[in-house]
Structure 1
Amino acid sequence: MSATTRRAPVVAFPPSLQTSEGRYRNAAPKPAQGLSKTLRIIWNAMFNKPASSVPAGSIPVDVLSRAQLEAAPDRSLFRLGHSTMLLKLRGGFWITDPVFAERASPLQWMGPKRFHAPPIGLDALPPLRGVILSHDHYDHLDRTTVLKLARTAEVFLTPLGVGDRLIAWGVDPAKVQQFDWWQGTRIDGIEFTATPAQHFSGRGMFDGNRTLWASWVIVDPVDGVRAQNQRPLKLFFSGDSGYFDGFEAIGQRFGPFDVTMIETGAYDAQWPYVHMQPEQTVQAHLDLRGQWLLPVHNGTFDLAFHPWQEPFERVLALSQTKGIALATPRMGERVDLSAPRAATLWWREVDSAAVQADAGNASNRATAGA
């Protein structure tokens, strides 16, 4: 497939209430930003990032093996980084927004670089029952990852237009299912529904909003013999979104949720429409009627100006104030979705360990020079 074909904007537009003049849109119009503000943000992102936006030490990672994953019980979640979650449901593995690339960028020599390696290599993953995609930005949709997963993954669930992009890349069309908001499917008894989000899409200068973005509701209901010892499990995955009244609508229609995986990172006062501040993340969780909050979209890539650990600290403080159960697993750490455990403050050890190491090195140098 030629480079021209790979980069061509998606042009197939299934009928949707979310389209206007050939492009997808949010329910509430995006405020005008202006070219000068956009260019200023880009300039600052390239040349004026504070050092604190990148961890000084190493992110702790629980290394995983295929054998460990296959032996894990159903209703397990493993956070692999950023917004990539590996779920084990009814014996099958499902992955959200898989990105295993070194950089969240169209260029592998430039752009936001990973803070840590994935807990398991792409080739070591067990065959996937399916891939769940929220939208087509580079930190959520990595072409190389998708094409490798397509060799064994049985199905790709995407918002409208994103599936067209996968097919243009070479993914078998028979594996791709595309959905508008409030549409979904049932696979192996598990219910998947694409739900609204407030964001945008595009991978180049000329394909903005030519694919839809979405959050996802995942329900593992009780049926048959399973009803004897299990209860329904309801999960919410936000993808990317600014705060909007759609969270309340989703909560009313599908809630309450056992676990909400909601973005908490890459936020800034300069772009509140498309990414939430931690206060809004917590409010979205309450709107959804969630029990456990698992903040995602953090700890892997440098995508904003805030200190890298700030999303964890702010959402932790807010959750404690409001009595919200918070899960913050290390990368690779197993989460029991039926009974998550309280937050571990692993991020506090990262920079402090680096400071201690620097102090030790300085002391050694001083001793050596004495």
Structure 2
Amino acid sequence: MKYWCLRIGMAALLLTAAVGCGMVKSMGKNPDGEELGRLEALSNYKNGSFENLAERSDSTVKSKWLFLHSRPKTIRPSHALPWVKTNLNTLAAPAPTIVWFGHSSLLIKTGQGNILIDPIFSNHVGPVPGLIKAFQGTMNYHAEDMPPIDVLIISHDHYDHLDYRTLKKLRNHIKMAVVPMGVGADLVYWGFDPKKIIELNWSQSVTLPGGLRITATPAQHRSNRSYANENKTLWASYVIQANQYRLFYSGDSGYGPLFKQIGQQYGPFDLALLECGQYSPNWPWTHLQLGQTAQAAVDLQACLIQPIHWGKFVEANHPWNEPIEKLLPAAEKLGVEVNVPRIGEPYTLGDTLRTKVWWDFN
């Protein structure tokens, strides 16, 4: 009896600690009730979950065992990454201006408004603080540094793209959120006004009051905030139109015909913000592998690549700077230009490309 009382007591303490640090809340909430009924009527929602355009059985077989594998010594940088301190409230935007915060977090300043994409300012990934820590030098921007946000764009519900602690701080500074189908349930659970959330299915668009036009396009990925519930919400890439400029944001996606289809329908693009990093044989189909980022840009008819999904967290077993070192020669071979700013360094379309090698250390 004492043994079971002790176990129950320990479980209660762990649960209290989890609630206290926001772990339970950060796990979010899957769609239910009327919203679930709305999802079940969609053509890409079948048998209780969303599906990719073409399904593969090998996409998640090994991923749960990633952290049991050996890792190279260069998986994290040996010292702090260089960064630039920018006043985000005074950015000029004669053309779209992009500021990268590491991984896939971006601020895009346009004449039609401020766009914030997949922001992670908690300096870690996942429901448990400190488990997957950000690299040194990537932790100098915070929610408090952001200007008023005209539109928040979320690509999918994975913890490295949808961060509870960041959005809790930003909630009252966001005019509108554009998310894939079902992800609105997480935001409502976290206190967002449902009237300020727009859910899009693939190929659906919205034009915001300032004139920004945002279209959700297919991605080849998956969704889940626990292993018990997979693909209950949609994942997406996005086409962003600001006046005459067209930008593409990949979110997380494996390679496939979808890039050529998006390029034919919505391209050419002035800039493609493309996943480059966290690739692994553990997920051969749901992330771009080496060489595929450059080819995806060609398929999209993109004039310029800016790599994302690298430079902040360890989520796969490759050296931290391998993605950019492999991307550059692959892009040169295919005739695609690459822009690689430092964290926090603004780049305005049409300016001189940021090509200084700042990542050459281990």
TM tier relative to shorter chain: 0.7 to 0.9
Amino acid at match of 1:151: N
Deviation at 1:206, TM superposition (A): 1.8
What corresponds to 2:68 in structure 1?
43
Amino acid at match of 1:84: S
Amino acid at match of 2:271: V
Q: TM-score, normalised by structure 2?
A: 0.87
Unmatched segments (≥5 aa) in structure 1: 222-231, 352-370
Contact 1:97/1:132 (<8 A) preserved = yes
Contact 1:163/1:178 (<8 A) preserved = yes
What corresponds to 2:233 in structure 1?
211
SS of the aligned residue for 1:77 comes to strand
Q: Distance in 2 between matches of 1:115 and 1:17?
A: 44
What corresponds to 1:108 in structure 2?
129
SS of the aligned residue for 2:225 comes to coil
SS of the aligned residue for 1:165 comes to helix
Q: Which residues in structure 2 correspond to 1:44-193 (within 5 Å)? A: 44=69, 48-69=70-91, 71=92, 73-90=94-111, 92-187=113-208, 188-193=210-215
Q: Distance in 2 between matches of 1:278 and 1:38?
A: 18
Cα distance change on mapping 1:332 and 1:206 into 2, 3 Å: same
What corresponds to 2:287 in structure 1?
275
Q: Which residues in structure 2 correspond to 1:156-305 (within 5 Å)? A: 156-187=177-208, 188-221=210-243, 232-305=244-317
Alignment deviations for residues 49-86 of structure 1 (CA, whole Å, 9 cap, x no partner): 222110012100101224443x5545111111110110
Contact 1:292/1:340 (<8 A) preserved = no
Alignment deviations for residues 1-33 of structure 1 (CA, whole Å, 9 cap, x no partner): 994796443333323221111211111112246
Cα distance change on mapping 1:331 and 1:338 into 2, 3 Å: same
Alignment deviations for residues 200-252 of structure 1 (CA, whole Å, 9 cap, x no partner): 0011122210000000000113xxxxxxxxxx101000000000111111000
Amino acid at match of 2:146: L
Deviating above 4 A after TM superposition, structure 1's stretches of 4 or more consecutive aligned residues are: 1-7, 71-74
1:27 paired to 2:53: yes
Amino acid at match of 1:196: P
Contact 1:18/1:26 (<8 A) preserved = yes
SS of the aligned residue for 1:290 comes to coil
1:329 paired to 2:350: no
SS of the aligned residue for 1:81 comes to coil
Amino acid at match of 2:167: V
Contact 2:30/2:182 (<8 A) preserved = no
What corresponds to 2:6 in structure 1?
none
What corresponds to 2:5 in structure 1?
none
Deviation at 1:277, TM superposition (A): 1.3
Q: Distance in 1 between matches of 2:295 and 2:246?
A: 18
* RMSD of aligned Cα (Å): 2.1
Contact 2:273/2:305 (<8 A) preserved = yes
Amino acid at match of 1:58: A
Contact 1:6/1:169 (<8 A) preserved = no
Deviation at 1:91, TM superposition (A): 5.1
Alignment deviations for residues 109-153 of structure 1 (CA, whole Å, 9 cap, x no partner): 312434433453211211111100100101101011112211111
Cα distance change on mapping 1:342 and 1:321 into 2, 3 Å: farther
Amino acid at match of 1:277: Q
Q: TM-score, normalised by structure 1?
A: 0.85
SS of the aligned residue for 1:313 comes to helix
Q: Distance in 2 between matches of 1:101 and 1:56?
A: 21
Contact 1:65/1:120 (<8 A) preserved = no
